[in-house]
Amino acid sequence: MKMNMAEKILAAKAGKKFVEPGELVMAKLDMILANDITAPIAIQEFKASGAKKVFDRKKVALVPDHFTPNKDIKSAEQAKILREFAYEQKLTHYYDQGEVGIEHALLPEKGVVVPGDLIIGADSHTCTYGALGAFATGVGSTDAAFGMMTGMAWFKVPKSVKFVYKGKLNKWVSSKDLILHTIGDIGVDGALYMAMEFTGPVIDRLSMDARMTMSNMAIEAGGKAGLIAADETTIAYVKTRAEHKWKVFKSDPGAKYEKVIEYDCSKIEPVVSVPHLPENTKPASKLGKVRIDQSVIGSCTNGRMEDMRITAKIFKGKKINSRVRCLIFPGTRDIYLQCVKEGLVEIFVKAGAVFSPPTCGPCLGGHMGILAKGETAIATTNRNFIGRMGSPESFVYLSSPAVAAASALTGRITNPEELYRR
């Protein structure tokens, strides 16, 4: 019987030959993840249940990335809960301070998650790992606690939507533009509790950095997971870093989908989501009158090396607008170091940007870049809800690193092409 990727992975982990949408299954987990916001609750529930040990100390990852470095006493206490639990349980995958990175950039880089894995994380952007050909989804802290205890979780097998990206990407158009365009087309509930499967010749040509950006924002369309089939690009990425064996799952020809949606990428230009929902998309070229106070480049969506390089390319030899605060957040320590080695940090700093250690920081309105009342930011983050980055009377526009960098230079939302037409 024919199955798509999501169904194949869930069937394999549930010990079944076949599953179908709507079916409830108990499945074995390859990794459980939590951070400094969600883990303390999971740990509390873990202990309240009477559990003494996690099911497998190699399959629980704790990453205190949201308030790293700790911004106040409360965040320090949250991090302390993780630290003590990690030491008590002798967890293999605990990353603190100098080793820490933004969780969804860090775990793939470390080889902790690989193709064919079934992963739950007490963070909604756990869906990022679907870019590796894994089924990964966000859960609540109590589900994470149960996973830590048993190595199991229940799932309702989701329906799947297949997205096919054809044509050729225009200059300055990236995977961030593709996913924003997609969300703008189907809406923030357009794939509610569905597995989004990204396919087509354009996807096949994307780097792993770009693919992770696509899968990261599946949740912004309501998706349960965002999957890209593992191919030569994926295997080249994981084979030098994988901590455990992987298995490639691909959809069967003729597998069933709730719907199939096709896009001609040659018609897509740089895209921006305007406040206060990711679905509110407009071409960057139509927003040139929108002035900004802050530009944020980084996050679990766009804090990878590819993003750093495109930002440096645009900033090199230029100065950021004097009225704009520009903050750059690399996703991991290794990306930070690579930016130093390639001379990108010097480019950023000379342009007038602040280069930060890895942290989620401003994305969730946590620290290091909070907006005041009436201020406007353009950001490569994933959400622009009311109050997401600070004051409920501030405004966040979502874009690619290229658009965010160009906008930092001009002081207003700018299509990068505009800089090179002068």
**Residue 390 located in a structural domain:** yes
pLDDT of residue 190: 94
pLDDT in tens, the chain (422 residues): 899 999 999 999 999 999 999 999 999 999 999 999 999 999 999 999 999 999 999 999 999 999 988 889 999 999 999 999 999 999 999 999 889 999 999 999 999 999 999 999 999 999 999 999 999 999 999 999 999 999 999 999 999 999 999 999 999 999 999 999 999 999 999 999 999 999 999 999 999 999 999 999 999 999 999 999 999 999 999 999 999 999 999 999 999 999 999 999 999 999 999 999 999 999 999 999 999 999 999 999 999 999 999 999 999 999 999 999 999 999 999 999 999 999 999 999 999 999 999 999 888 888 999 999 999 999 999 999 999 999 999 999 999 999 999 999 999 999 999 888 75
**Residue 285 located in a structural domain:** yes
Choose the final residue of a domain: 213, 228, 262: 262
**Residue 362 located in a structural domain:** yes
Same domain flag for 110 and 239: yes
**Residue 92 located in a structural domain:** yes
Sorted by sequence, the CB contacts under 8 Å of residue 340 that are 6+ apart come out as: none
And the tokens for 220?
Answer: 């912004």
pTM confidence score: 0.94
**Residue 48 located in a structural domain:** yes
Choose the final residue of a domain: 204, 239, 262: 262
Same domain flag for 349 and 201: no
Same domain flag for 119 and 254: yes
Same domain flag for 196 and 341: no
Same domain flag for 195 and 97: yes
Which of 89, 92, 88 has its CA nearest to residue 63? Answer: 92
pLDDT of residue 422: 55
Same domain flag for 121 and 221: yes
Same domain flag for 74 and 217: yes
Structural domain total, the chain = 2
Which of 360, 313, 305 has its CA nearest to residue 337? Answer: 305
**Residue 267 located in a structural domain:** no
Choose the final residue of a domain: 262, 292, 316: 262
User: Could you list the residue range(s) of the whole structural domain that residue 284 is in?
Assistant: 272-420
Same domain flag for 206 and 323: no
And the tokens for 87?
Answer: 């030491």
Same domain flag for 165 and 225: yes
Task: Tell me the C-alpha distance between 81 and 72, whole Å.
Answer: 15
CATH of residue 22's domain is 3.30.499.10
pLDDT of residue 419: 87
pLDDT of residue 243: 93
Which of 303, 304, 332 has its CA nearest to residue 101? Answer: 332
173-196 burial by CB neighbour count: b if 16+ within 10 A, else e? bbbbbbbbbbbbebebebbeebbb
Same domain flag for 70 and 137: yes
Same domain flag for 226 and 328: no
Same domain flag for 278 and 243: no
